[in-house]
Amino acid sequence: MFDRILIPTDGSDAVRPAVETAINLAEIHDAILHVLYIVNQPTIVSGTGEGVPGLDNLLAALEKTGHETTTVVADQATDQEIDVQTAVQRGNPHDDILTYATEHDIDLIVMGTHGRTGVKRALLGSVTETVVRHAENPVLTVHREPKT
């Protein structure tokens, strides 16, 4: 049923339950797991978000973090003998997740939620919510584990 599963990750603890769910589903369905990290590249600074002193270094550091993050997830999946593809991209998270899903013929997107509410959610927005609203394929949302 699911041959290609996408898990977008930002490496946060809130996404960890979604990563575990995606790995389990990939194992059950003998699916390829796509692990995607999007470096949120600001376009408001200079049209492209590049060429601003310090910003290029920050984006490069975030890309490095993205590679480290996707490698951790890929290693977890590989330990369970799951085929994995990783990608790190600069762009707009919700747009690029949707584009990636279309370009790679993804059957299921598994996304974590940070559980923000109220003002934080209004100010920061919700990538997961936007993906759910605009995706043409199924999206499974996994809530973070409650803090104890």
3-class SS string, the chain = CCCEEEEECCCCHHHHHHHHHHHHHHHHHCCEEEEEEEEECCCCCCCCCCCCCCHHHHHHHHHHHHHHHHHHHHHHHHHCCCCEEEEEEEECHHHHHHHHHHHCCCCEEEEEECCCCHHHHHHHCCHHHHHHHHCCCCEEEEECCCCC
Quick one: CA torsion of 4, 21, 28, 83, rounded to 10 degrees? Answer: 50
* Amino acid letter for position 46: S
Q: Give the integer Cα–Cα distance in Å for 31 and 21.
A: 13
Q: Vertex 36, ends 31 and 42: CA angle to 5°?
A: 160
Give the pTM. Answer: 0.86
pLDDT tens-digit profile of 108-147? 999 998 765 555 554 445 888 899 999 999 999 998 765 5
Kindly report the CATH number that applies to the domain delimited by 4-123+139-143.
3.40.50.620
pLDDT tens-digit profile of 41-97? 876 554 555 556 677 888 889 999 999 999 999 999 999 999 999 999 999 999 999
